[in-house]
Amino acid sequence: MALVQRGLGLPLGTAAVVVRGVLRSVSRPSWRGLEHLPDGGCVIAANHVSWLDPVTLADVLVASGPVPRILAKESLFRVPLLGALLRVMRGVPVHRGGGDAGRALQSAAEAVEAGDRVVIFTDGTLTKDPEGWPMVGKTGAARLALTTGAPVVPLAQWGPQQLLPRTGRPKPWPRPRMQVLVGPPVDLSAFRGRPLTQTVLREATEVVVDAVAQQLSELRGLPVPPRWDPRTQSRRPAAAPAAARPEVEGTP
């Protein structure tokens, strides 16, 4: 694998070299399953463990193929350095609530149909699971995959939360392993061609989140626990139906 993919252009190529240099000084990469990432348009469904995730995932994905587009909440675009990187990568800003959410998903659909790889965090925010597992998922990734017909690829990561915890100071020493495991595309054939009702979207979302959680289980060497529901602050079986949520789905 090349240090940085050719043809990125000066702004993105420079950003990639700088970001990679910084990350290598404070962490150790461990990436597996990158052969499952298609070259064409696809939806990458990922878990969300740290505010650093857009940077660490960009490191993986820029090195392994076409430059991804990451759906991220608008406030992240105003963070120094991170915002600049997201803009260089043509990130899709999402304003929570109102019509902006729908426009963001429409932009993401257009990007997938144009051959881009679009990253969506299934939790929609940093996971609140006490043990760091994916929570009850939001339907953005499933909706995007079923709308466009593109494959949805599960990606699990573990390590960014050790470098940059949800609260507290960064912990660059000892250098944490930035583990990534990509699985084969999720089989959503049972849902394709059906009306995109909330029931269909919730069921498809459970399948997607299950796939992400299984990849994380392999990374951590632990069984997947029942899904954490942030509304009730408790665990429940992953197969139980979840009510639709009004907030923006599929964004950090």
Using the predicted structure, report yes or no on whether residue 103 has a pLDDT greater than 50.
yes
Q: For 14-33, write each residue's pLDDT tens digit.
A: 777 788 888 999 999 999 99
Concatenate the DSSP letters of all residues of 220-247 into one string.
HTSPPPPEEETTTTEEE-TTS-----SS
The CA distances from residue 107 to 113, 126, 179, in Å, are: 10, 23, 29
Segment 162-187 mean pLDDT = 90
In terms of pLDDT, which residue wins out, 172 or 155?
Answer: 155
Segment 54-83 mean pLDDT = 81
The mean pLDDT of the chain is: 84
Comparing 31-40, 84-93, 184-193, which segment has the lowest mean pLDDT?
84-93
Segment 160-171 mean pLDDT = 86
**Tokens coding 223:** 């069984």
Task: Tabulate helix, strand, coil % of the chain (nearest 5).
Answer: 40, 15, 45
Buried b (16+ CB within 10 A) or exposed e, 21-49: eebeeebebebebbebbbeebbbbbbbbb
